[in-house]
Structure 1
């Protein structure tokens, strides 16, 4: 798996959100809720996502359909591991401390994290 460029990630997030097989026109329609898209550019990016192994496609009549091969959760885990390793020296504590010190997370967020850790570790 490889890190996706922002535009390809935007397309995948749109497809992941729908959680079903979509045609090129359906993908374009969903993407255009945020900004205009050129069909030719979209098809190029969809082909790149196929080449990267994120999607498969098939043609039915005049339409081309795209099916998810790599699930969002799988990609997020990959991306998060990369970020943690690259930016925080593989230290979750450094990441959380940095987020807290920059006021990006609140005391409530930390309480939720503590509860999550307690649930996952059985209170250990």
Structure 2
């Protein structure tokens, strides 16, 4: 699968799929997304086809018209790829630049403590 950004609607579908235990059917997605978003079945089928084409989903044909879908990438893998791409593109691979973009007012003392602890553990891991 190529590293590529998902459009918002496709990410929304994948995010829901990641919350379920595979295999996932069109009907399962329609129960939630159809109701919440007012989507027609053809919309979900089209989005599944795009995600399969792009290599995010694997499809297995069941009996009749039913198909089972399996995510080929985890939520964590996708978010890591998105984050790395964002940091590379907008912050020239600088973690410091990324943090500087998060204004001090947005970081709570708890956030700063967690960040300090994380940085210490990263430093210790490099020293070993």
Using structure 1 for the length normalisation, give the TM-score: 0.88
TM-aligned CA deviation for residue 9 of structure 1: 0.5
Are the counterparts in 2 of residues 28 and 42 from structure 1 also a CA contact under 8 Å?
yes
Give the secondary structure class of the aligned counterpart of 1:12: helix
Are the counterparts in 2 of residues 8 and 45 from structure 1 also a CA contact under 8 Å?
yes
* Moved >4 Å (runs of 4+): none
Once residues 52 and 8 of structure 1 are traced to their aligned partners in structure 2, the CA distance between those partners, rounded to angstroms, is: 11
Are the counterparts in 2 of residues 84 and 92 from structure 1 also a CA contact under 8 Å?
yes
Once residues 19 and 115 of structure 1 are traced to their aligned partners in structure 2, the CA distance between those partners, rounded to angstroms, is: 34
- 1:54 is matched with 56
- 1:27 is matched with 29
- Which consecutive unaligned segments of at least 5 residues does structure 2 have? none
- Whether 1:76 aligns to 2:79 is yes
- Whether 1:89 aligns to 2:92 is yes
Aligned length in residues: 123
- 1:67 is matched with 70
Using structure 2 for the length normalisation, give the TM-score: 0.85
Once residues 4 and 20 of structure 2 are traced to their aligned partners in structure 1, the CA distance between those partners, rounded to angstroms, is: 22
Are the counterparts in 2 of residues 56 and 67 from structure 1 also a CA contact under 8 Å?
yes
Once residues 105 and 32 of structure 1 are traced to their aligned partners in structure 2, the CA distance between those partners, rounded to angstroms, is: 37
